[in-house]
Structure 1
């Protein structure tokens, strides 16, 4: 397979951190460097970051990239000058609207657009739903994270566009996220040596369910008095969660780390014995988990996983094999499963081993990059 020279149009690109940014960067790192040209939003620190890459990056001078005439002209100019035959919209909505202009102005022959969690609510909101339908009709392939996101966006798409939807899953680098990748040092940093630790790595926002874990912690401590909860990440919910800890007298038992550099995240997973993020859907299903990369990263690190039942999160766990899926709003079931894994270390160890094997077998970045290359080349790829 020869991957065509491809213009990648995206707002989600490092050095900014985030789930989509990691997805895009990891996929492109495994594509042939000569096949990639990136057109991305400008941001602080981008010059130094771009200098480390083996392919050219053109930054939009006014920050966020939108499907408007100035962007269409500039992106088309880049595509023409770089000889691009294909375009990948790394987040379909709304940038996929640029596809017709790139075909007309730059002769781009093939357009692929990738949906993530946020297109789920686009599919449910009048106006936004029409935009998503236009994107589906404008591109050759619309990709989805998995079965849930495909079902969720399906009502917004024309029958022809739905027939062209293909799965393009995120993945995990199991050589980076692995048992023994630095957890002891993290435990020492936070004074958690010798204690059973439940870890949650995620943005601190209400949907992720860190508040459920804090509410469960007094009950966990009744059965496992020395258990510790390590909440890793920053976000708008930090102050509220910190108040919950103080109000319940959990200082010393619950640690909020704040934001952590991306390169330190594997070690923070490795500091745990159990991973838990009981995510829940909010706002009548407009806020959902598209998949949940953190569950796969935790499994790759050898941890048993407790996931909430929001959106596509259950697709990142083999329920009762690599961990458990719980109702995201259930304090009782979250507490029960946490205690089950803390009190039966052998069960947790077995689940962690099975989870790591599953990630290595089914969630490879090399496979994702190869599949994207095939889609860009116009090959017949199974749905």
Structure 2
């Protein structure tokens, strides 16, 4: 039977979902989509979602009778944090959810205090770098005292446990997934080949934030590798999709290395236009340090070979290297060699990691949308059994 209007099944608390683009935001949207697919209006699984940095002006396709959103963005930022605390406390006190899901470690101390005062079990969602190193005392305590921890893959699970003394038994995996009906194999879109002047090029591509604080994405490493790649493949070009304050440095680096004409900075591309941009690529190159790397799934579902770092969460989407190339993430020579191998493999078809149909099948078999739905259902059922 549905709950009465004064109660709610779950509460979720996130920093933001809609105000900016990024891997975490994309992942959370996939969770919300899976939640709505799992619970139709007849099942009565209602949830309230508190958003610290989103406003009601943000476009939100998930609002429904199953999901009620509270937008708390306020300037100055400290006032927004106060509003979140007051709204969350009132929501927990009067609505008494079965379980609270804290969407970021930065919010965990607040959630811990409120939930323990009211006897409500809580789970902390983690993603990557934010929990890979020893945490400050308050965040550490909130994580250690959580009833469970959800994370996106094996690497992040192992790092958070090793760095913060967390039992692996407390951690559950809720993997990133890809929609194979959106990202699929097709011919290179002529309008994009013309737009970016890629007609006869071998195209390497990266989709990443170009922020000075995110140089780990490896765009600069790939640019440095281009001169060596171009000696073997003179027609190579590098399409970089993303925006950020590191763009001037990257543009200067390309010019200084004499490859400025080979690097196309496409800027921000709307989500609905990304599938066509993947189809332009011959290889997806991101020697990074990812918590997981949804972009690798998107590329492989599009039949595109991939290169990642070798010491991060890409171990899951690349299935321990079975599906792609994993190299030291700041090693320019290793990136150049791997890119040359990939482009050669596309020509001679000897390496299965360059077989687009096989890449797609292997990716969707393990990381299709149904995987997320079933895993979310399992974890929510586990959460309902927790007693404080």
Question: What TM-score comes out, normalization by structure 1 length?
Answer: 0.85
Q: Distance in 1 between matches of 2:273 and 2:311?
A: 27
The within-5 A match list for 1:1-383 is 5-31=9-35, 32=39, 34-43=45-54, 46-50=56-60, 53-54=63-64, 55-62=67-74, 71-79=84-92, 84-95=97-108, 97-102=110-115, 104-105=117-118, 108=120, 110-121=121-132, 123-124=133-134, 128-157=135-164, 161-180=167-186, 183-204=189-210, 205-279=214-288, 288-318=289-319, 321-345=322-346, 346=349, 347=351, 350-378=354-382
Q: How far apart in 1 are the matches of 2:286 and 2:337?
A: 14
Cα 1:66/1:187, change in 2 over 3 Å? farther
- Would the aligned equivalents of 2:13 and 2:101 in 1 still touch at CA under 8 Å? yes
The verdict on how the C-alpha distance between 1:271 and 1:24 changes in structure 2, with shifts beyond 3 A counting, is same
1:133·1:156 contact (CA, 8 Å) conserved in 2? no
2:192 match: secondary structure: helix
Higher mean displacement: 229-238 or 357-366: 357-366
Q: Offset of 1:51 from its aligned partner?
A: 6.5
In structure 2, do the counterparts of structure 1 residues 228 and 27 end up closer, same or farther at CA, with 3 Å as the change threshold? Answer: same
The gaps in structure 2 that reach 5 residues or longer are none
Which is worse superposed, 85-94 or 334-343? 85-94
For residues 67 and 366 of structure 1, the distance between their equivalents in structure 2, rounded to whole angstroms, comes to 36
Bigger mean CA deviation after superposition, 250-259 or 49-58: 49-58
1:42–1:350 CA distance, 2 compared to 1 (3 A): closer
Note the alpha carbon deviations across 1:21-60, whole angstroms, 9 max, x for none: 111111111112653321102435x435137632221111
Note the C-alpha offset of 1:351.
Answer: 3.7
Q: Distance in 2 between matches of 1:367 and 1:65?
A: 39
Alignment deviations for residues 90-149 of structure 1 (CA, whole Å, 9 cap, x no partner):
2234335413413534x63x322111113334x32xxx3433431233321111222211
Alpha-carbon separation, structure 1, partners of 2:246 and 2:191: 27
Is the CA contact 1:232–1:258 (under 8 Å) kept in the aligned structure 2?
yes
CA–CA distance in structure 1, aligned partners of residues 305 and 190 of structure 2: 18
- Secondary structure of the structure 2 residue equivalent to 1:353: helix
Q: Is the 8 A contact 1:89 1:96 kept in 2?
A: no
* Conserved? CA contact 1:72–1:102, under 8 Å: no
Partner Cα separation in structure 2 for residue 336 and residue 26 of structure 1: 35
Structure 1 residue 312: Cα displacement: 1.8
How far did 1:152 drift? 1.0
Q: What is the aligned length?
A: 364
Cα distance in 2 for partners of 1:81, 1:176 equals: 41
Matches of 2:205 and 2:153, distance apart in 1: 25
Using the size of structure 2 for normalisation, the TM-score is 0.84
RMSD: 2.9
Q: Secondary structure at the match of 2:122?
A: strand
Offset of residue 272 of structure 1: 0.1
In 2, the alpha carbon distance for the partners of 1:261 and 1:251 equals: 25
Q: Relative to structure 2, which stretch is displaced further, 194-203 or 248-257? A: 248-257
Q: Judging changes above 3 Å, is the alpha-carbon distance between structure 1 residues 104 and 320 closer, same or farther for their aligned structure 2 residues?
A: closer
Distance 1:330 1:52, change over 3 A: closer
C-alpha deviation, 1:304, in angstroms? 0.7
CA distance in 1: counterparts of 2:187 and 2:62, whole angstroms:
24
In 2, distance between residues paired with 1:47 and 1:191? 37
Q: Which residue of 2 aligns with 1:284?
A: none
